[in-house]
Each structure stands twice: as C-alpha cells, then as structure tokens.
C-alpha cells in the first residue's frame, strides 16, 4: 500500500516510515501541509496519515478545507486525546483517528478497517500457490472457494507471505501479531499456526516447523 504520512516530527516520521516499510508498505513523508499538498498533486495514495499539529496549520482545518477534493481515506494522528478532539476530527471528515503513541498493529488494523469501509480501493493481493490472499479484505480465495480468515490469522499469514522461505521465530511472530498484550504466550502462536495450516490445506503452500528455530512458509 502507498501511504502519505504528514508529520512534522522527523524522528517519529522516520520511525513510522521504517516500521511500515517492514510490513511492505511504501510511505511518502511530508513535514508540512504545503509539502502534503505537493505530494497529493503528483501521486495517488491509498491512505493519508495526518498529524493534527503542524507548523503551517492545523491538520483538521486542512482536512475540512480539502475534504471535497481529496478522496483518499484519512486517519488522523493526534497527540491530544480529548474527547472534543476526537469528535472534531471525525466531524471534519477524517475516517478514523489514532492517538500517539500508537501500536502499529492497531494502526494496521484501523487502516484495514478504513479501507474495507471505503470499499477496498487498494488491491493488495498476494498469490499463495493456487490461492489468492487479500489481507485487506481478510480473504483467501482458492478456486471457487473463499475462506474468511480471522484477524490474527490474517496477520500471521501476511507475515509469512511477505517473508517467504524465511525462518520466523515464535518471538518474532508474537511481537508482530499480538502487540504487547501480556496474556499471549508462545503457545498461542502454535495454535494459530495450526489453524492456518488447516486453512492452507490443498492450496499448495505449507508452513513448516523448523525445530528449535521457528516456522517457515514454502510455496
């Protein structure tokens, strides 16, 4: 997916770009609203991540000014958590908002939710053997059969799909899947991997256990 990140804090922006890159997303960074307008003029984005407090204005004002022109979904990044702010952001045309600091799993979940609500403008399909995996819609299409995956299964499959042939440890998977919920143990990974294996049965891709190291998906 292609993101436009409008954020004046360079360190944070850099981190977000890097982090989303790890998930295979392309992110353009604009430090000001002026930059953002330039970017929007030359490129199409699947989603805009818009900070509220910017050196050349308020993100929400920008949003209300350009809402009729910009069809791209917008998720507002806010440092404030005041109720009025949240409501204000939604009223002024944001699709959703997320409070800084944010959990990338949550950001991703919200992005997916927004895109799904907007009718999935971004086609982001991955071919897995004979099946097509759409992480945004959360579906695995195999011939006539369309399998609905649960959220954590989608996340897990996406991690495997973006890292084919790589051995992924349980710890790595845990960090990617479950955010920082402390109640999830590495045993849960085994459960989810078990479920995925069942759903991938007959597709032509397998998740292998590499004893002592982790898992690997082969196509």
Among the residue ranges 10-18, 32-40, 119-127, 208-216, the one whose residues contact other proteins (CB under 8 A): 10-18
Cross-strand partners of 167: 216
Q: Are 210 and 216 in contact (CB under 8 A)?
A: yes
- Cα Rg for the chain, rounded, in angstroms? 19
Residue 130 touching other proteins (CB under 8 A): no
DSSP conformation class of 202: T
Task: Tell which one of 143, 150, 194, 201 touches other proteins (CB under 8 A).
Answer: 150
Residue 184 touching other proteins (CB under 8 A): yes
DSSP states along 80-130: ---HHHHHHHHHTT-SEEEESS--HHHHHHHHHHHHHHTT--S---EEETT
Say how many residues touch other proteins, by CB under 8 A. 44
Cross-strand partners of 168: 215
Task: Tell which one of 71, 145, 181, 201 touches other proteins (CB under 8 A).
Answer: 181
The residue among 16 and 161 lying less far from other proteins, judged by its C-beta, is 16
- What whole-number distance in Å separates Cα of residue 102 and Cα of residue 109? 12
The residue among 40 and 193 lying less far from other proteins, judged by its C-beta, is 193
- What whole-number distance in Å separates Cα of residue 91 and Cα of residue 67? 11
Residue 180 touching other proteins (CB under 8 A): yes
Both tokens of 193, joined, read 């991997």
Task: Tell which one of 26, 43, 79, 146 touches other proteins (CB under 8 A).
Answer: 79
N residues, the chain: 219
The residue among 28 and 108 lying less far from other proteins, judged by its C-beta, is 108
Residue 147 touching other proteins (CB under 8 A): no
The residue among 65 and 100 lying less far from other proteins, judged by its C-beta, is 100
Binding site for other proteins (CB under 8 A): 9, 11-12, 15-16, 18-19, 22, 53, 79-85, 87, 96, 99-106, 109-110, 112-113, 150-152, 171-172, 175-176, 179-184, 188
């Amino acid at each position: 997916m292609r993101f436009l990140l409008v954020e004046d804090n360079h360190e944070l922006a850099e981190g977000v770009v890097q982090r989303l890159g790890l998930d295979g997303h392309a992110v353009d960074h604009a430090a000001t609203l002026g930059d953002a307008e330039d970017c929007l003029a030359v490129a199409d984005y699947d989603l805009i991540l818009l900070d509220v407090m910017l050196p050349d204005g308020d993100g929400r004002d920008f949003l209300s000014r350009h809402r009729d022109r910009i069809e791209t979904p917008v998720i507002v990044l806010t440092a404030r958590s005041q109720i009025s702010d949240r409501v204000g952001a939604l009223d002024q045309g944001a699709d959703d908002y997320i409070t800084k600091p944010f959990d990338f799993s949550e950001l991703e979940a919200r992005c997916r939710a927004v895109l799904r609500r907007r009718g999935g403008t971004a086609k982001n399909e991955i071919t897995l053997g004979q099946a097509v995996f759409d992480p945004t819609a959360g579906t695995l299409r195999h011939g006539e059969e369309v399998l609905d995956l649960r959220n954590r299964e989608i996340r897990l499959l996406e991690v495997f799909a973006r890292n084919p042939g790589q051995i992924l440890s349980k710890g790595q998977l845990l960090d990617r899947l479950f955010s920082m919920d402390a109640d999830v143990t590495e045993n849960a990974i085994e459960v989810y991997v078990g479920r995925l294996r069942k759903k991938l049965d007959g597709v032509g891709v397998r998740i292998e256990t590499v004893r002592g190291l982790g898992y690997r998906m082969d196509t």
